[in-house]
Every structure is written in C-alpha cells, then in structure tokens.
Structure 1
Amino acid sequence: MSSSTAAQSTVLVVDDEKALAAVVASYLTKAGHRSIKAHTGPEALTLARAEDPDVVILDLGLPGMDGIEVCRRMRTFSDCYILMLTARGDEVDRIVGLTVGADDYLVKPFSNRELVARVQTVLRRPRASRKAVPADIRVFGDLRVDSDGRRVWVAGHEVHLTRTEFDILDALTSRPQMVVSRRQIVDAVWDASWVGDDHVVDVHVANLRKKLGDDSDEPLFIVTVRGVGYRMASR
C-alpha cells in the first residue's frame, strides 16, 4: 500500500456511468483526495496495479467483467479498501461481493456525502506499525496474531487477510475473554458513525473463519455467541 496520508490518499472510482464516476470523483477531490477513474473492469485492474490506490469505489454492475470478478482479481495483488456500489435489492450479489473480498457496500442511489464519509472513516484506520517496539503477539492454540505488524499465522503458515478481516480479528483478540457484539465490532472496525446493516459482520467473520481453517460448528478460534456476537476460544 502507498504511504499517503488520509488527506493525500488515492481513490479509484470504477463505474461505467461516466457522468456518475465524474461526480463521485469530484466530491472526493473536494474532500482532499486524489481521485482517478476507470469505466471497465480491465481498465480498473490496470490502474489499480499502476496507481496502488488506498480505496477503490467499485460498481458491481460493470458490463463484461463485473465488479465481483474485478474484486476477486484485485484481491490477488492489493489489500486496498474496496467499497462496492450495488443496485437496490441485490442482496445476494452484495453478499457475494463481500465473500470475494469487498469490505463494505453502498446501495444506489446514494448520497455523495455519505460515500465521502465512508471513505474518510476507513482512512482513519491504523496502518501497519513501523515503530521499533516489541510486537504484540497474541496466541490462541495454532493461531498467532501480530497486532503491530498486522500479520496472522495458523500452524506456522502465514494467512493473508483483507484489512477488514484483520481489523475484526484484532478487535476480537484484543479482548479475548469477552463476548464482542456485532455493534461493538462495527464501532471498532468502521466507527460509531457508520450506518449500515450489522449483517455485514457475519459475512466477514465467515470469510475470516474460512481463511483460518476454522469450523463454526466446532470452533478452534472464533466462537459464535448466539444472539450476541463473537468471542475467541480459550487460549
């Protein structure tokens, strides 16, 4: 990822509706970001490789190569924050988008102010620490979490998580003896001002479990507390 600050961050806007992409990019530029635009899936992937954006605003309904496939391919080389734009009612597609690596979604039509606020929120998340201090290593059986370096290992093998997946795991492992509610996870990962469906947490936790090789029925690491949220299994 680039080392830009939030005020200098690069945001890639991907939408085949050129007028909409131009309006969104204009709002982002006014908010202090460097905004670039793409109108097709292949163009988006090329720009993402060349420009290393901090955030990608990605329309799900792109012609040819749709947003889900763009997201899947982008996740093979980038950990940028991906905010997917979806049409109202496309619940299944939103879940699929989150499953392949999108961090969040916004339903069209949306307020440009809300979109800019979502971008500002994620850019306030801490980056990997470069301080020369001992790493905060949290151990849960075969799972090791380096909070400072934002790295995760299972049975000695490194597991690559998206930023949102790591932030959720970080929130859970920072309070290992406590049950963390979905709302508390939202407040920790997105922030208290975020407005959206708490169901997004469940989708990301399912992705996280899959990458960790965890089983929700017989969990080694992340335990579901029904009706409340999640906690870490005993160390």
Structure 2
Amino acid sequence: MRKILIVDDDQKTRTLLKTYLEKNQYEVRLAHNGESFLSEFQRYTDELSLVILDVMLPDTDGFALCKIVRQRSNVPIIMLTASSDETDRVVGLELGADDYIGKPYSPRELLARIKAIHRRTGLENTAPPRFYRFLGFTLDCVERTVVDAHGELVALTGLDFQLLKYFVEHPGDILDRGILSEETRGRDSGPLDRSLDVQISRLRLRLNDDGKQPFLIKTVRGAGYVFSADVIASQI
C-alpha cells in the first residue's frame, strides 16, 4: 500500500508531483486546499501510506491540517514550507509531522524523503531484491558484496557499496549531489565539499570504469550523476 495524499494550492506543482511519483509506482491523490484535503483524507484514511502538507493554503494552513490528521491517524506526514524560519519547522514537528522540506525543492529530493519514511515504517519495498546484475557484475545486498564477471570479489568500502547500491536501484535517473550525499552519508554536501566526487572517482576505479570516458557512472554537468548500465534486479 503506497497511496499518498498531497495538498498544495499550486496546480503546476500538484501536477508535477503526481506525474513524477506515479512514475515511481506510487498512487497519488491531490487536494488544492484544506477543505478538499479533509474530504480526501476522510475518504482514504485507512489506505494512505503518507500525507504531504503545504504550510500555506488559501483557506487554512498546513499546521491546522497536521493537527487534525494526527488526531485521527498515525500516517506519516511531510510538511512543505517556503519559510526559512526555523520556528515553522519546529512547530510542524511538535504537531506530529515526521519530516519537512523547504521550498524550492526538487521532486527527486522529495522522493528520497518519502522513501526514507517508508523504509522506517516498513512500507517501502517490503520484499526488496537481493541481487542487482549489470555488465557482468553482481551486487548482493545481503552479503554486501560485489563480484565481477569472473567471480572475483571487488574491494569496496562500506560507503562505496552504499553509493553503488543506490545507483543500481535508480538506473537511468539523474541523481543530484545532495541526494547521493544524503543517502550515503546522511547529510547534504556543501558546494565546496568534494568528498562525493572523490568517492565516485574511487568507485569508478574499482569497477574499471574509465574516469575520462565512463560507461557506468556518467557525469551530467550541472545536474549530478547517472548510472547508465542496464540493471536486472532479482531475489535469486
């Protein structure tokens, strides 16, 4: 069950999020104000796996909705706020929100937050693949190992493995530096932080991926990185 209810008064934002999340196998319900949100919430309360609340709405605010939701349900809540004021974030968390994200944000960042919450609540990939195979390599999520086409073990650090695992879970997606840093280190990387670039260079070296003309992990200038190989995921 991965049904998400989103309330946002901006039609373009609602449409963008619905399209993006549905491409990632989520069912999405939309509301444009507090009244329509409460109607949808009452209808789908027992089916929802997540609620996303915009703080600023034409007829109410996300804090009031958060309070109502938490009185009726334990469904996870993400707050969307355009304010840089820490008070807004603290208030939302105190009212029972599970996470917040500041505007502007990318759909990929929001997706990462959604997946993190679903992992914590046991709703994300309840039966995840054990193996990911690409270009002769096999990544084993249980043993946390990678072997090449000759069955030789590829020497990777824990961070290297986590980074590669995230890449093979999102083949073909352009992944920005912030998401990659958060997934591997639990924090965003600053503009002068080159540790992620060093890690990717090391991972390319371990996979015999030419740093000058990489065929596995490609750099998308100004956007991030993309894992370009075809990936087959399986339990066996």
TM-score, length-scaled by structure 1: 0.51
**In the alignment, does 2:2 pair up with 1:14?**
no
CA RMSD in angstroms comes to 2.1
Specify every segment of 5 or more residues in structure 2 that has no aligned partner in the other structure, as ranges. Answer: 124-181, 189-236
- Whether 2:98 is the aligned partner of 1:100: answer no
Deviation (angstroms), 1:10: 0.3
For residues 118 and 103 of structure 2, the distance between their equivalents in structure 1, rounded to whole angstroms, comes to: 22
C-alpha distance 107-77 of structure 1, shift in aligned 2 (>3 A): same
1:90 Cα deviation after fit: 2.6
Residue in 1 that maps onto 2:85: 90
- Alignment partner of 1:32: what SS? coil
Q: 1:36 aligns with which of 26, 29, 39?
A: 29
Moved segments of 4+, more than 3 Å = 190-196
Residues 121 and 191 of structure 1 are in contact (CA less than 8 Å); yes or no, is this contact kept in structure 2?
A: no
Name the SS of the counterpart of 1:125 in structure 2: helix
Letter in structure 2 aligned against 1:122: I
Gaps of 5+ in 1: 129-189, 197-235
Query: Residue type matched to 2:112 in 1?
Result: A
Partner SS, residue 37 of structure 1: strand
Residue pairs, 1:63-78, within 5 angstroms: 63-78=58-73
Q: Distance in 2 between matches of 1:102 and 1:69?
A: 12
Q: Is the 8 A contact 1:85 1:108 kept in 2?
A: yes
TM-score, with length taken from structure 2 = 0.50
Residue number in structure 2 paired with 1:59: 54
C-alpha displacement of 1:127: 4.5
CA distance in 1, matches of 2:185, 2:110: 13
Q: 1:195 to 1:61 in 2, by over 3 A?
A: farther
CA distance in 2, matches of 1:67, 1:191: 27
Distance 1:111 1:195, change over 3 A: farther
Equivalents in 1 of 2:35, 2:96: separation in Å? Answer: 18
Distance 1:68 1:32, change over 3 A: same
The alignment of Structure 1 onto Structure 2 pairs a total of residues equal to 128
The one-letter amino acid paired with 2:34 is: G
For residue 98 of structure 1, report the CA deviation from its aligned partner.
1.0
Determine the structure 1 residue equivalent to 2:229.
none
Q: Which structure: larger Rg?
A: 2
Q: Percent identity?
A: 38
Gap change, CA 1:126 and 1:86, over 3 Å in 2:
closer
Number of the residue aligned with 2:104: 109
Instruction: Give the secondary structure class of the aligned counterpart of 1:95.
Output: helix
